[in-house]
Amino acid sequence: MNDQIMTSKKFFNPICPSVAWELQIIVKNSYYQPLISLIQIGLNESKVSVFAKYNIYAYDNKGNRVNICSYLENFENKTESDKSEIQLHKISQADGSVLLYCEVEFVPQNIKCEYNYDQIANSQVEERNLIRELFMDRTLTDFVIKIGDVKINVHRCILAQNSSVFLTMFEQTDMIEAKNVFTENLDKIPGQN
């Protein structure tokens, strides 16, 4: 029987996409445990290398982490790590599936990284918009204040963080207003006549 080789999708840090990796699993036959290795696939310049620390692991069916291998190694383009055995009997889930994880840490010496500040800024704006939408959809609200005919949906944590009055009110266990989700009969907003 020929060896069966499975390769993961390419993975990399978006800040340094030229340092890309793949996991490779080799299944020989049913008598041998599968083998796994890490391959550096992104360094195109022949004189460039990267010193990396990597951990390959899985979780057993009880949720405990099972380490497969952990090494410090110098990688060049197309360099493959030593192969390590995968103890399937330790990490197989009830349905027979196996989910493998790989964490790689490296310092990009003599490698050009691409800091995409626009992408970072856009993601921060998107996060703020998401939080605003959650607030507007009342997903983040657990308290309603009624002033006249106007209802204001808020979250107790935000009120307590920004107002010593609300903080004191929520700390009181015998105050009806602190227990209720709805507070009304506030006659007017401070600063308005």
Query: Over the stretch 116-140, which tens digit does the pLDDT of each residue have?
Result: 555 555 666 777 777 777 666 666 5
189 falls within a domain: no
Alpha-carbon distance of 125 to 128, in angstroms, equals 5
Q: What is the pTM of this model?
A: 0.57
Are residue 89 and residue 8 in the same domain, yes or no? yes
Are residue 87 and residue 143 in the same domain, yes or no? no
Domain that holds residue 133: 117-183
Question: How many CB atoms lie under 10 A from the CB of residue 111?
Answer: 16
Domain count within the chain: 2
Structure tokens at 114: 């691409």
Q: Does position 9 have pLDDT exceeding 70, yes or no?
A: yes
Could you read off the pLDDT of 142-189 as tens digits, one per residue? 677 777 778 777 777 777 777 788 778 777 777 666 666 555 544 444
CA distances from 187 to 14, 146, 149, 154, 179 (A): 54, 9, 11, 18, 20
Q: What is the CATH classification number for the domain harbouring 65?
A: 2.60.210.10
